[in-house]
């Protein structure tokens, strides 16, 4: 049983819930528990979409600075790989993932939200990469995922300054996708996740992999990734059912096979 990260599944939606009072600081144990939760939800065929949630007050205020403060270069050289691997496990969940952001999502908390496909934020939420104010830089994907999401100039602004970005600005620059009243964040994320339940799970996984892998390579290589994923789907029952339903003007029934 994990101590700080739980997984609850209801209506084909898994909620990965962070609960390490007071601010969900992401120490080494929490990182490992997040990775295990990610692998569990990815492997569960009964889960069609995932919500990452830190509770009503805060998403995650960042890494545990007290834990890191006394680490040497050798210590962090080893630990940083584990840190990145744990967050990458979330990014590699082959299902739609939505981060429900309340309160602060700073440093590692922002980097965790970046691993999701979509981000729903509360009106009073603040996001950012304040590591520069500690004399360091983001180490869990912030320098890589953030510019891919909002562009290099805006990412550099956030990383160089370390400033906290309010929800309205985060929406305007594409750092979050929706802003809702604070009390509605989790339900809004679940409602969005519900739009993916009952859908063609294999095709959704293929679409996610094609987009994510395509961003990592040149255009020609990305097109080849797309071609292979596209062609492979013609071996699935879902594709046959979907196209047959289209021809018959009926509602397709997807089985994930």
Considering the candidates 8, 36, 111, 123, report the single residue annotated as catalytic. 111
- Terminus-to-terminus CA distance in the chain, angstroms? 31
Residue entry with tokens 């196209």: 243
Check if 111 is active-site: yes
Question: Quick one: which of 18, 22, 7, 23 has its CA closest to 54?
Answer: 18
> Which residues, in sequence order, are CB contacts of 208 under 8 Å at separation 6+?
94, 95, 96, 117
103: left (phi over 0), alpha (psi -120 to 50) or beta: left
Q: Provide the CA 19 distance to its chain's centre, in angstroms.
A: 17
Check if 184 is active-site: no
3-state secondary structure (DSSP) of residue 105 = strand
Tally of CB atoms within 10 A around 251: 6
Query: In residues, how long is the chain?
Result: 257
Cis peptide before 180 (omega within 30 of 0): no
CA dihedral sign of residues 25, 27, 32, 35: positive
Considering the candidates 3, 33, 131, 169, report the single residue annotated as catalytic. 131
CB hemisphere CA count around 41 (13 angstroms) = 32
User: Could you list the active site residues?
Assistant: 111, 131
């Amino acid at each position: 049983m994990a101590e700080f990260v739980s997984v609850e599944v209801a209506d084909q939606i898994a909620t990965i819930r962070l609960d390490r009072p007071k601010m969900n600081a992401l120490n080494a144990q929490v990182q490992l528990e997040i990775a295990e939760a990610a692998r569990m939800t990815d492997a569960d065929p009964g889960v069609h979409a995932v919500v990452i949630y830190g509770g009503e007050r805060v998403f995650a205020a960042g890494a545990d600075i007290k834990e890191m403060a006394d680490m040497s270069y050798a210590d962090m050289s080893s630990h940083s790989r584990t840190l990145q691997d744990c967050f990458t496990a979330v990014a590699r969940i082959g299902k739609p993932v939505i981060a429900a952001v309340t309160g602060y999502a700073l440093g590692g908390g922002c980097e965790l939200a970046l691993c999701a496909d979509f981000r729903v934020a509360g009106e009073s939420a603040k996001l950012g990469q304040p590591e520069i104010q500690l004399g360091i830089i983001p180490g869990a994907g912030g320098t890589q995922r953030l510019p891919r999401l909002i562009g290099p100039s805006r990412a550099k602004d956030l990383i160089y300054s370390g400033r906290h970005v309010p929800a309205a600005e985060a929406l305007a620059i594409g750092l979050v996708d929706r802003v809702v009243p604070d009390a509605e964040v989790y339900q809004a994320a679940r409602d969005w996740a519900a739009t993916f339940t009952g859908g063609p799970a294999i095709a959704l996984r293929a679409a996610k992999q094609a987009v994510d892998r395509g961003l990592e390579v040149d255009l020609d290589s990305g097109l080849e990734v797309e071609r292979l994923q596209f062609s492979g789907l013609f071996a699935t029952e879902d594709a046959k059912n979907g196209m047959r339903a289209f021809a018959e003007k009926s509602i397709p029934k997807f089985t994930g096979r």
